[in-house]
């Protein structure tokens, strides 16, 4: 707890990380209370008020079916957050498990896992996610699994590297010599050492997952209409870009701001958790 306070004070000392944190908190609150916050029903079609320019009634305007853009961005935040968190959770737990096994047992097990990781890294993430969403069926859950699986290799490498670093430490070797159960060493000594780099990586990975999800939604492989998703809203507005550019600008800005916030907060966390780097930055 004391450690937590120290880390947070380092993070908040940097303006950029503090700003990132505030934006993330706001984003989560908006996503949680989307139904209460949205001024209009995000799916409400109103052909008498289509493509209204930003004004007092519709701060961000309306789309070609007269749906309020602000309400759709607010409602889209829920699905964005859901997919980002669950996909990162999937990637993190699978990656962590394989990384631990690979790093701790080494030898042939490590070689096999790493060759598969190398192969997965070489497959273009977008192609992998696209194919997977289709293989698993076009719904939000398969989207989460696809985005998650596509980012597994990064976690495996991270955890494996960390395990290698810790494994050779004297206190771990001492534990092994006195005959402590290997599984126990793995979970009570080695895993805790992986937590802080994992948190940093996961934070920036949340941003990356949001970009992947919105890109997939943009090309029509992601969140399916009529549900509002930021990526598909940009795509919706693209055909009218010459006349109503704000249809694409605002949802894209929403993605940019949220991803930027995760990256800046992640940078701050990394500096706070790894003092060696923060000295040089």
Q: Given candidates 80, 201, 215, 223, which one binds other proteins under the rule CB under 8 A? A: 215
Q: Given candidates 35, 93, 219, 225, which one binds other proteins under the rule CB under 8 A? A: 219
| Position 259 contacts other proteins (CB under 8 A) | yes
| Position 211 contacts other proteins (CB under 8 A) | yes
Which of 29/135 has CB closer to other proteins?
135
| Position 278 contacts other proteins (CB under 8 A) | no
Both structure tokens of 116: 């598969």
| Position 168 contacts other proteins (CB under 8 A) | no
Both structure tokens of 225: 């209409």
Task: Give the residues across from 62 on adjacent strands.
Answer: 68
Q: Chain-centre distance of CA 37, in angstroms?
A: 23
Q: Confirm if 99 and 158 have CB atoms less than 8 A apart.
A: yes
* Residue numbers 225-254 binding other proteins by CB under 8 A: 231, 234-235, 238, 241-242, 245, 248-249, 252
| Position 127 contacts other proteins (CB under 8 A) | yes
Which of 196/278 has CB closer to other proteins?
278
CB of 108 to other proteins, least distance (A): 14
Q: Confirm if 185 and 175 have CB atoms less than 8 A apart.
A: yes
Evaluate the CA torsion angle 236, 241, 245, 249 in order and state its sign.
positive
| Position 135 contacts other proteins (CB under 8 A) | yes
DSSP state of 68: B
CB of 24 to other proteins, least distance (A): 13
| Position 281 contacts other proteins (CB under 8 A) | yes
Q: Which contiguous run of DSSP H or E holds residue 48?
A: none
Which of 58/125 has CB closer to other proteins?
125
Q: Given candidates 19, 64, 82, 131, which one binds other proteins under the rule CB under 8 A? A: 131
| Position 124 contacts other proteins (CB under 8 A) | yes
CA–CA dist 34, 42 (Å, integer)? 10
Instruction: Please count the other Cβ atoms lying within 10 Å of the Cβ belonging to residue 36.
Output: 7
Rounded to the nearest 10°, the torsion over CA 155, 157, 163, 165 is -130
* Residue numbers 56-115 binding other proteins by CB under 8 A: 115
Distances (CA, A) of 68 to 37, 244, 273: 13, 14, 42
CB of 171 to other proteins, least distance (A): 27
Contacts of 58 (CB under 8 A, 6+ apart): 49, 52, 68, 69, 70
Which residues bind to other proteins, rule: CB under 8 A?
115-116, 118-128, 130-132, 134-137, 207, 211-212, 214-215, 218-219, 221, 231, 234-235, 238, 241-242, 245, 248-249, 252, 255-256, 259-260, 263-264, 277, 280-281
């Amino acid at each position: 707890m004391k450690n937590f306070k120290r880390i947070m004070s380092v993070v908040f000392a940097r303006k950029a990380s503090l700003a990132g944190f505030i934006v993330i908190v706001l984003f989560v609150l908006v996503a949680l209370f989307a139904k209460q916050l949205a001024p209009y029903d995000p799916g409400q079609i109103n052909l008498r008020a289509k493509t209204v320019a930003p004004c007092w009634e519709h701060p961000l305007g309306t789309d070609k079916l007269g749906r309020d853009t602000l309400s759709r961005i607010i409602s889209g935040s829920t699905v964005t957050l859901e997919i980002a968190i669950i996909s990162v959770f999937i990637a993190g737990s699978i990656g962590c498990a394989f990384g631990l096994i690979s790093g701790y047992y080494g030898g042939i097990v490590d070689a096999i896992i790493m060759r598969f990781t190398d192969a997965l890294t070489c497959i273009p993430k977008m192609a992998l996610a696209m194919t997977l969403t289709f293989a698993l069926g076009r719904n939000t859950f398969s989207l989460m699994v696809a985005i998650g699986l596509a980012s597994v290799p990064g976690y495996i490498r991270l955890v494996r590297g960390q395990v290698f670093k810790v494994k050779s430490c004297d206190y771990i070797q001492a534990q092994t010599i006195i005959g402590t159960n290997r599984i126990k060493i793995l979970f009570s000594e080695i895993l805790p050492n992986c937590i802080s780099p994992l948190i940093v990586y996961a934070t920036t990975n949340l941003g990356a997952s949001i970009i992947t999800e919105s890109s997939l939604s943009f090309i029509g492989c992601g969140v399916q209409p009529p549900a509002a998703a930021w990526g598909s809203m940009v795509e919706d507005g693209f055909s009218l870009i010459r006349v109503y550019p704000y249809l694409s600008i605002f949802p894209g800005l929403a993605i940019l701001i949220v991803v930027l916030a995760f990256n800046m907060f992640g940078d701050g966390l990394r500096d706070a958790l790894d003092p060696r780097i923060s000295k040089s930055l």
